């Protein structure tokens, strides 16, 4: 009898180019970090996944990986128990530095247990699907939809990174995105190329009046398109209420305008635009507090990477439905493995209320065989081949790992990068 027991876990850190995208914490560095997980069984099958690639995450993965040896790919509960016993959920600190915790709660090291569980779970589900001859979406209960819609994700940005001494920092093809006219052109290019039907603007980077002007220009240029804005809690309650009044009739939802759940509740009391978050409802304890407050957050933008995997995010979806809340999905700088896992999950959730976020148009590199995933009319079709439905391209993996070896970045630091442009920049939130 052929054994399907896990015999080895490989974790390969990678880096790929990232444009100079502005946000509340600062600006993206020239390289984004991820890690590729490969779980190999005794019979030679390999399940794969993609997750964060900062040093604290790599350390946590290395600490937990030996505990998977000998497990069946089906034994997810034991995997979770072993990870929880080995990976300590720290109370403070972040893979980002200092003030950037609030920007990306999934990078907080207190989420490490859930992040490691998610990293291994997807790869084990990939193995399960291969063994069963079924796509992951079928392991999750079957597809509620054949294709998953995504949204155009716009960023204010510079035309090039500030360090021009390195060839990889040359101008990117998207050019500058600062003025309303430039943001309309950015949206048009993204929609023309990918077919997206809705638009999200990453805000909190420029004075609010400039960002409002960009949103109004988008509303005029794309009449009827659902529009969202996300300042990453970089506005006070007063500013949040002023902006939402200026954008009356424009917004589909209002994502994380003010800091903290109490700040969001204060905005909700004075506005009828539904509030969405990936910052203040990031685990079940925070979900319960939102319910206790009367659900000021009406839409949870889930992220399986820090919620603990695909299965627990399905549970979150049921809770959202129970409390009459919407659900969609948050994105980070990612490649095709992560995006495919997200697609399986979103397809399995009947209660998917809005098109999902994705940074994918901002990345040019890829690690999967066949190259870049193809959007059709703003959506990705759900793979029907066994498991995850994508495989690693060994040459691409080697190239991106070489990038990691030479890029000099080990922890994402948008704040530090921004100080190269403006040494007085503090990253203080809320700023406006």
What are the catalytic residues? 202, 330
**Kindly report the CA angle at 169 between 166 and 171, in degrees rounded to 5?**
135
Give how far the C-alpha of residue 240 lies from the chain's centroid of Cα atoms, to the nearest Å: 24
In terms of Cα–Cα distance, which of 146, 153, 144 is closest to 194? Answer: 153
What is the phi/psi pair of residue 201, to 5°? Answer: -110, 125
In terms of Cα–Cα distance, which of 273, 264, 208, 188 is closest to 233? Answer: 264
Token output for 290 = 């939102």
Q: Is the C-alpha dihedral spanning 388, 114, 107, 322 positive or negative?
A: positive
Pairwise CA distance, residues 4 & 394, whole Å: 23
- The total of other beta-carbon atoms located within 10 Å of residue 303's CB is 22
Token output for 152 = 């155009």
Q: Are strands 275-277 and 297-302 parallel, antiparallel or unpaired?
A: parallel
Pairwise CA distance, residues 421 & 404, whole Å: 24
Pairwise CA distance, residues 48 & 29, whole Å: 26
Token output for 383 = 């793979």
Pairwise CA distance, residues 203 & 257, whole Å: 9
Q: Tokens 């979900």 sit at which residue?
A: 287
The residues with which 154 forms a beta bridge, in sequence order, are: 201
Pairwise CA distance, residues 339 & 347, whole Å: 12
Pairwise CA distance, residues 428 & 221, whole Å: 33
C-alpha distances in Å from residue 57, one per residue of 62, 87, 108, 383: 9, 10, 10, 28
Pairwise CA distance, residues 283 & 278, whole Å: 10
Those residues with Cβ within 8 angstroms of residue 40's Cβ, 6 or more apart along the chain or in another chain: 6, 7, 8, 9, 10, 46
Pairwise CA distance, residues 29 & 173, whole Å: 16
Reduced 3-state DSSP string for 76-100: HHHHHHHHHHHCCCCCCCECCCHHH
């Amino acid at each position: 009898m052929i054994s399907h027991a896990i015999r080895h876990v490989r974790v390969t850190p990678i880096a790929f180019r990232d444009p100079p995208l502005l946000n509340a914490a600062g600006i993206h560095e020239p390289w984004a970090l991820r890690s590729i997980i490969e779980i190999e069984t005794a019979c030679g099958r390999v399940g794969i996944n993609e997750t964060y690639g900062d040093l604290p995450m790599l350390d946590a993965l290395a600490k937990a990986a030996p505990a998977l040896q000998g497990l069946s790919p089906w034994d997810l509960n034991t995997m979770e128990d072993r990870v929880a016993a080995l990976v300590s959920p720290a109370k403070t600190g972040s893979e980002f530095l200092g003030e950037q915790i609030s920007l990306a709660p999934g990078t907080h090291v207190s989420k490490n247990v859930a992040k490691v569980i998610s990293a291994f779970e997807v790869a084990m589900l990939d193995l399960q699907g291969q063994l069963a001859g079924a796509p992951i979406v079928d392991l999750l209960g079957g597809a509620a939809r054949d294709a998953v819609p995504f949204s155009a994700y716009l960023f204010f940005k510079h035309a090039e990174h500030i360090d021009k001494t390195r060839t990889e920092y040359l101008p990117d093809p998207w050019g500058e995105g600062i003025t309303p006219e430039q943001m309309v052109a950015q949206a048009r290019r993204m929609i023309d190329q990918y077919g997206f039907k809705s638009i999200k603007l990453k805000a909190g980077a420029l004075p609010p009046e400039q960002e409002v002007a960009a949103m109004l220009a988008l509303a005029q240029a794309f009449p009827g398109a659902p529009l969202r804005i996300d300042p990453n809690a970089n506005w006070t309650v007063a500013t949040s209420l002023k902006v939402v009044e200026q954008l009356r009739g424009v917004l589909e939802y209002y994502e994380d305008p003010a800091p903290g759940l109490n700040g969001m509740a204060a905005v909700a009391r004075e506005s009828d635009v539904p509030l969405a978050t990936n910052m203040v409802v990031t685990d079940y304890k925070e979900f319960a507090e939102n319910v206790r407050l009367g659900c000021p957050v009406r839409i949870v933008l889930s992220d399986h990477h820090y919620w603990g995997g695909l299965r627990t995010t399905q549970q979150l979806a049921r809770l959202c439905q129970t409390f009459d809340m919407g659900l969609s999905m948050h994105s980070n700088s990612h490649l095709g493995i992560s995006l495919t896992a997200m697609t399986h999950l979103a397809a399995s959730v009947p209660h998917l209320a809005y098109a999902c976020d994705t940074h994918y148009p901002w990345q040019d590199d890829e690690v999967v065989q066949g190259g870049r995933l193809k959007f059709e009319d703003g959506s990705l079709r759900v793979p029907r081949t066994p498991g995850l439905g994508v495989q690693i391209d060994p040459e691409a993996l080697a190239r991106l790992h070489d990038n990691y070896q030479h890029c000099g970045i080990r922890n994402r630091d948008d704040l530090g990068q921004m100080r190269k442009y403006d040494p007085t920049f503090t990253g203080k939130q809320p700023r406006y």
